[in-house]
Structure 1
Amino acid sequence: MTVTPAAPPAPGRVECGWLSIPLDRADPVGKRIRIAVSRVPVSGAPGERRGVLLVNPGGPGGPGLSYAVTERAELPQSVRRAYDVIGFDPRVAGQSTPADCGPTGGLFDDPVPVGDTEEEAYLEALRRMAEDCAAGALPHLSTTATARDMDAVRC
């Protein structure tokens, strides 16, 4: 008979907020975006606190705000008692600032075109949207940008 250990209790409190960061790190006073951040505080006494654990579910592009709660549940009680667990939604994911693909954004909600003329117009609109994304947010979506955002969350 296999006995499955009981899941730890849900955290008593989850704190959420946003961190404002530059879209383009090379232009720190330019356009800013918000990164959604969550924190599950330590469950132990104040004297047991040792620091924070920043968790990232990877992806790329997947949200991680709730990952602080779900990953915390997998950690040993001694870790939950000593470390705040921090989660975040990377750029353009989940509750963080969405990607700005310019005036042609939002085309994915359109119905599928029927006929050659409608299909050609739809494909042209998708090309314009891709060009807008490439000129806007896309150059700032990368593993490097996520790593720098994680540094900002840790500070």
Structure 2
Amino acid sequence: MKISLMLNGTKIEREIAPDLLLIDFVREEGCYSVKRGCETSGCGLCTVFLDEKPVLSCSVLAARADGHAVTTLEGLQKEAEEFGAFIADQGAEQCGFCNPGMIMNAIALFRENPDPTEEEMKEYLAGNLCRCSGYEGQLRGMKAFLEYKKQGGAV
């Protein structure tokens, strides 16, 4: 089957197998920030934006993205670098494996709600597996980033 979609702002047309997962499609297209972790939709490592909404690409067939826009961390470099610096500053990137999914979900939260409560931040972090840090560093990084934005920092 042939699909056509926008991947990080570039039109991609490709023949695919009907059972190809979106995670495999984007990785085949060079988007290696999208990682396979649990294969059960429970870790958040494979998070991408489908029409600007976060989805777990290990649970979406690539065919479902036909005619839509898919964005990975590679397509959000400016936002990701700015926010990622706050995560790193808090020592929350110990092994770094969870960072892409964590950053994708944080960006989704900040776009949806520019002034989230701590509880809302925890809800967004809940879908992301991190075996190293216990999430406290990520939470501190999110708070520091939001404070920076309130003080006039810009993306």
Greater radius of gyration (CA): 1
The answer to whether TM tops 0.5 is no
